[in-house]
Amino acid sequence: MTARSWRRWLKRAPLFVVLSLLATACAKDAPQDALDPAGPIARQADNLFRPVFWIAVVIFVLVEGLVILVAVKFRQRREDQPEPAQIHGNNRLEFAWTLAPALLLLGIAIPTVITIQDLAAPPADDALMVEVTGKQWWWQYEYLDEKIVTANELVIPVDREVFLNLESADVIHSFWVPRLAGKQDVVPGRTNTMRLIAEEPNQTYLGQCAEFCAISHANMRLRVRTLTAADFERWVAEQKAPAAESADGSLEARGRELFMANACIQCHSTDVGVASLGPNLAHLADRGTFAGSIFELDEENLLKWVQDAPSQKPMSPPTIDPSAPTTLINPGNKGMPSFLNILSEDEVRAIVAYLLSLK
Ligand code: CUA
């Protein structure tokens, strides 16, 4: 590089500094910030990450600094400059730069292995056991001792270990709630585990699927809602109660009839504790979001969803035979079918009223 082109690059340096400062500013108030742990399990990983990061920064600055220094100091200054002295080998130096990194890596490896062992510990005696199943494109939670099945929003008590058995119904997903724990792959045919502990009640921690799992991977989000131990007991009691009954002749009752008479019931159970092909809806209205936690759960969004879900979220769903509205064509396909030309607007309205009554 000539002196002039060096100067040209140096003039641009402030721009690069400003751009990198701007980029770091983006992280303010980030709800999925893995560097802002909200519980002891996440903090354990963070405590490992931070010292390793700063060691890496020191080494980066040292190595890159020396590279730049040498490149500038020993550059060719004149066309006719003679070849510099050629040096081969320096035992003392080579020994030093082999031993130093080896010791450093050993120093990093020991706490890393201890942390990995710690995080992989078996469940505590009083742990809340939940089986998480990744499905294209939503999450099912089965509370094993409580016999509750919910979807997308994992409700947990604070200050108690939550032990997750992670399973997949189809392809590889990855369960990730950055502020509560690390990331864990969810693999068909095997059970991975994860522990998380939250500390602050009445919080919502956001998460998402972190392994590409086809068309709606980006729409496979999740939430973790934290409650005090007493509130959690109340929540469990509510979830274990049967789904709400609707009064005879009400819009909700008509919606329930339509729900049972159409394909809805083929995929969605409204019985407590029953896992179904689609999310269990026994207490749907307790959740704040639906469809892989991408929509707020309200009447307007549910109307659009029940009428024509594939227009709301990319899916490859089964279709419904218009002459037999309980029959799914290609039932192995993933996602919610469209009910356009199957249900009228009034019928959709009744079904949504029924769904919103499922508190
Ligand atoms: Cu599930 Cu990506």
Question: What is the 283 CA–ligand 1 centroid distance (Å)?
Answer: 24
More confident residue, 43 or 83: 43
Q: Could you tell me the CATH superfamily of domain 35-55+98-228?
A: Cupredoxins -  blue copper proteins (2.60.40.420)
Cα angle at 242 between 205 and 276, to 5 degrees? Answer: 65
- Cβ-based neighbour number of residue 223 at 10 Å: 20
Name all residues whose Cβ lies below 6 A of ligand 1: 134, 137, 173, 209, 211-213, 217, 220
pLDDT the model gives residue 87? 85
Mean of the per-residue pLDDT values of the chain: 93
* pLDDT band with cut points at 50, 70 and 90 for residue 14: confident
Task: Compute the distance between CA of residue 187 and CA of residue 262 in angstroms, rounded to an integer.
Answer: 33
User: Which amino acid does the sequence have at 74?
Assistant: F
Atom of ligand 1 nearest to the CA of 213: 2
pTM higher than the cut 0.85? yes
pLDDT the model gives residue 302? 97
pLDDT the model gives residue 1? 59
- Cβ-based neighbour number of residue 346 at 10 Å: 11
Lowest mean pLDDT among 66-70, 259-263, 352-356: 259-263
The CA-based dihedral angle spanning residues 116, 182, 41, 28, taken in that order and rounded to the nearest 10 degrees: 140
pLDDT digit string (tens) for 90-132? Answer: 999 999 999 999 999 999 999 999 999 999 999 999 999 999 9
pLDDT the model gives residue 323? 84
The CA-based dihedral angle spanning residues 190, 185, 54, 61, taken in that order and rounded to the nearest 10 degrees: 110
The answer to whether 307 and 339 have CB atoms below 8 angstroms apart is yes
Which residue intervals of 26-133 are DSSP H helices? Answer: 40-73, 91-119
For residue 329, is pLDDT > 70?
A: yes
For residue 314, is pLDDT > 70?
A: yes
Buried b (16+ CB within 10 A) or exposed e, 180-210: bbbebbbbeeeebebbbbbeebeeebbbbbb
Task: Kindly tell me the burial class for residue 178, based on how many C-beta atoms sit within 10 Å of its own C-beta (0-12, 13-18, 19 or more).
Answer: buried
pLDDT the model gives residue 7? 78
Domain boundaries, the chain: 35-55+98-228, 251-356
pLDDT the model gives residue 9? 77
The answer to whether 270 and 281 have CB atoms below 8 angstroms apart is yes
Instruction: Give yes or no on whether 35-55+98-228 and 251-356 have one common fold.
Output: yes
Question: What is the 105 CA–ligand 1 centroid distance (Å)?
Answer: 34
Considering only CA atoms, which residue is closest to atom 1 of ligand 1? 173
Q: What is the CATH number of domain 251-356?
A: 2.60.40.420
pLDDT the model gives residue 278? 95
